[in-house]
Structure 1
């Protein structure tokens, strides 16, 4: 008799791009002003071998730090706590980004993203304020809603699901994150009549501790550049690793919400791999 197959495990790393802020401390609208992102994006990255990815990015960082070419780059200085500590696309210089993307493209990765446009979100908040005098928008509300949306959609079935999400500031929101995941699992089970995994483990961590968080940051940065600046070459570069992007506010015809995937690329003319 053949031994049973070992339990299967999916490793997801979750982070965000942009911020959920709509108003300043005095309630004034920030949307549309300089310094306020146009979108808020949440993404998850399925990493087949987190340990191997961690080792590869650690080796790359050591190699780059030892390269005289980068010795005077501010973000590479240990005291700055940036690239010298972990890769972060916003802080890394272009030459470093290119090398990180080269490493990421060698690995078995699958990216999923969900996008909200702040202008549309602001309209929703105004309409709800008109209906409910006591309603007050909170950024955590948006984050939790997008976590549920991100995980309610299909992903491969597995015995165990391990989810690592990036801590947000100094707040520990593991309980709220777990609640959103449980809602997503319940919605999936109700819709398809099957539970995707017997066990779900959720932890909060930081990019220096988990290279998977460095990797998902790069995918999110690439997607954010497309939405914020119309600069699409980065998301095109990694498109082979993208499973789907759900744009909740884009309107086509009379339908609100568009799903981009291999059959329907995000960029017109983007190559589609079969």
Structure 2
């Protein structure tokens, strides 16, 4: 977490669920920039959701899904058919109907959830890559480097002390990234120790999984979707809905006082700041 007061909190086990919004791709197969094209977002986001009771959240979301599937109103909706592999199997904000999203948000509001995210502007990232290419002819941008960098930013800040930290991150495709995730977390902890002068001694378990198996990943997706709608479309009502459960949003490229990087939290709400895409 982000305040000194948080260090006084203790918990036997912390459960974090990590997901991303959009992807870190910048170029097509011919090396042309994708930014600005249909389907390419202007931001890459990585979020973590701390869940007090993952099992209880899973029971609640399963019960909601069963209730919705039994409702004749949704009987012929394509995304509610099991064969489609969408809402009938797991909640995913982009695929779910507006009526479904509203019910999911209602369930999430009743559980102990705390959300944090780190945001990177793809415009700023593209400028960095081009500048580095000009200096280093052999340099080739890879999306994994920005992902790992955001993992470090996401986990280096203060959090409650605990004996065990369980981190579940959303697996994409057939490639698992546990080793890279572990390296990024170790770098984050080293940076934390340098910044604050002491180390956090917790056992950490890192596992990849799919949202269909983890209610925490489904919930993290909803928080990220709300944040993305604010950034990409200036549609803030969803972010405003979940804001009571947001701990902080760290925008790496928002400018303030000649410096880059702004952290939004309860004292400085992102919605009131009305940040718009460049």
Give yes or no for TM over 0.5. yes
Q: Which has the higher helix share?
A: 2
CA contact (8 A) 2:11 2:161 kept: no
Q: Scaled by the length of structure 1, what TM-score is found?
A: 0.94
Q: How does 1:62-141 map to 2 (within 5 A)?
A: 62-141=66-145
Aligned with 2:46: secondary structure? strand
Does residue 1:47 correspond to 2:89, yes or no?
no
Post-superposition shift, 1:172?
1.1
Q: Kindly tell me the number of residue pairs found equivalent between the two proteins.
A: 265
**How far, CA to CA, are the matches of 1:7 and 1:261 in structure 2?**
22
Aligned residue in 1 for 2:6: none
Q: How does 1:1-274 map to 2 (within 5 A)?
A: 8-268=12-272
CA contact (8 A) 1:161 1:197 kept: no
Q: Scaled by the length of structure 2, what TM-score is found?
A: 0.93
Distance 1:57 1:197, change over 3 A: farther
CA contact (8 A) 1:12 1:162 kept: yes
Q: Select between 68-77 and 188-197 the one with higher mean Cα deviation.
A: 188-197
Q: CA RMSD in A?
A: 1.3
Aligned with 1:98: secondary structure? helix
**How far, CA to CA, are the matches of 2:209 and 2:37 in structure 1?**
32
Q: Select between 166-175 and 75-84 the one with higher mean Cα deviation.
A: 166-175
Aligned residue in 2 for 1:3: none
Post-superposition shift, 1:190?
2.3
